[in-house]
């Protein structure tokens, strides 16, 4: 069956039937959802757009990975603020000749993410379009005044990263090569956001960001927003097995957290945390320096950038 045969009301019924048990005051079915936030918390609110052929390729990425990832990347953003993800909306645009099988696979992935991250779908919208667009908007909560911002890094702070680096870009490369057995492929298709670790260190962290566009690009965001510079060491970076240098330094869609703090433990919420460098007094241009076997050089942002052709991931 094609999406055009199901129709918009059929699509909404299909989604509503699967996601009707959201723990909110009012979920799917009215003009808007209603939810309550526990006292002492602020709302964290973010969204992320996934476009066919830009973020995924229909013949390469399984539909359930597209659904899972659209939710997971928002969980990662909430976690990067030190928040707990709660509820989300999905807006989906797709061609009328799309197989309903793809929609069912997509919803399987959304359901998997709901179970894994303890979040719930509370509404959304749909439309027709020539290619698939998925937009997820997520609401979370953070302790009032306790959010981790990009702008709080201070000279003398240490720079930490969760998990390892390079596995998503490596996974995409292996996926394109048809090497489905490589463990990095599942890291690319089903990333594990570090929101539990983010929430756990929020009290101690001075700044944080999730690595969605690559270490070089996202660390540059921190130094720019904090008006500092930074130095990291190549030999301290927790590279994923088999990952190439550019994948470790510039590969996107990692969804690891980059955290700036005075000191953090080696493991938080079961996630290894590695110290990779330090924050310096600002140089003229708020730069990131990389120390490797050939000395110290400026690490320019060379990760993913939309609307330009310089992206590598």
77 lies in the site for Mg ion, by CB under 5 A:
yes
Instruction: Write the DSSP symbol of residue 240.
Output: P
Q: Which stretch binds Mg ion (CB under 5 A): 47-55, 58-66, 73-81, 178-186?
A: 73-81
Contacts with Mg ion in 211-240 (CB under 5 A)? 212
Q: Which stretch binds Mg ion (CB under 5 A): 15-23, 174-182, 206-214, 228-236?
A: 206-214
Q: Report how far residue 168's alpha carbon sits from residue 76's, in angstroms, rounded to the nearest whole number.
A: 15
Please work out, in degrees rounded to the nearest 5, the angle formed at the alpha carbon of residue 37 by the alpha carbons of 34 and 43: 95
CB of 138 to Mg ion, least distance (A): 12
The partner residues of 48 in beta bridges, in order of sequence, read: 136
Q: Which stretch binds Mg ion (CB under 5 A): 19-27, 36-44, 76-84, 250-258?
A: 76-84
64 lies in the site for Mg ion, by CB under 5 A:
no
210 lies in the site for Mg ion, by CB under 5 A:
yes
Q: How far is CA 136 from CA 28, 125, 198, in A?
A: 15, 10, 21
Would you say 107 or 222 has its CB closer to Mg ion?
Answer: 222
Q: Report how far residue 26's alpha carbon sits from residue 134's, in angstroms, rounded to the nearest whole number.
A: 23
Would you say 22 or 80 has its CB closer to Mg ion?
Answer: 80
CB of 209 to Mg ion, least distance (A): 6
Within 10 A of 232 (CB to CB), how many other CB atoms are there?
A: 23
CB of 218 to Mg ion, least distance (A): 8
Would you say 42 or 108 has its CB closer to Mg ion?
Answer: 42
Q: How far is CA 78 from CA 208, 287, 305, in A?
A: 11, 26, 21
Would you say 63 or 138 has its CB closer to Mg ion?
Answer: 138
Give the sheet arrangement for strand 41-51, strand by strand.
Answer: 41-51, 133-143, 84-94, 120-128
CB of 120 to Mg ion, least distance (A): 21
Q: Binding residues for Mg ion, per CB under 5 A?
A: 77, 210, 212
């Amino acid at each position: 069956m094609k999406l055009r045969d199901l129709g918009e009301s059929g699509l909404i019924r299909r989604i509503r039937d699967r996601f009707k048990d959201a723990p909110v005051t009012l979920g799917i079915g009215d003009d808007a959802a209603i939810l309550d936030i526990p006292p002492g918390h602020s709302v964290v609110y973010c969204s992320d757009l996934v476009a066919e052929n830009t973020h995924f390729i229909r013949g390469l990425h399984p539909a359930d990975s597209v659904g899972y990832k659209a939710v997971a990347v928002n969980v990662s953003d909430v976690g990067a603020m030190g928040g707990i993800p709660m509820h989300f909306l999905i807006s989906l645009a797709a061609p009328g000749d799309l197989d309903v099988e793809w929609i069912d696979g997509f919803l399987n992935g959304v359901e998997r993410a709901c179970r894994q991250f303890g979040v719930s779908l509370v509404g959304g919208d749909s439309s027709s379009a020539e290619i698939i667009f998925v937009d997820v908007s997520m609401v979370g909560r953070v302790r009032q005044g306790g959010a981790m911002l990009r702008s709080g890094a201070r000279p003398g702070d240490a720079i930490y990263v969760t998990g390892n680096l390079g596995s998503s870009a490596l996974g995409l490369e292996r996926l394109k090569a048809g090497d489905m057995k490589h463990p990095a492929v599942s890291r690319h298709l089903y990333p594990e956001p570090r929101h539990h670790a983010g929430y756990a260190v929020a009290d101690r962290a001075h700044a944080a960001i999730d690595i969605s566009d690559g270490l070089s690009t996202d660390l540059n965001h921190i130094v720019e927003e904090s008006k500092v510079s930074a130095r990291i060491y190549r030999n301290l970076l927790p590279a994923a097995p088999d990952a190439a240098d550019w994948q470790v330094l510039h590969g996107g869609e990692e969804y690891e957290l980059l955290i700036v703090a005075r000191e953090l433990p080696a493991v938080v919420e079961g996630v290894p945390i590695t110290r990779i460098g330090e924050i310096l007094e600002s140089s003229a241009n708020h730069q990131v320096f990389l120390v490797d076997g050939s000395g110290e050089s400026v690490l320019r942002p060379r990760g993913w950038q939309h609307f330009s052709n310089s992206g590598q991931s």
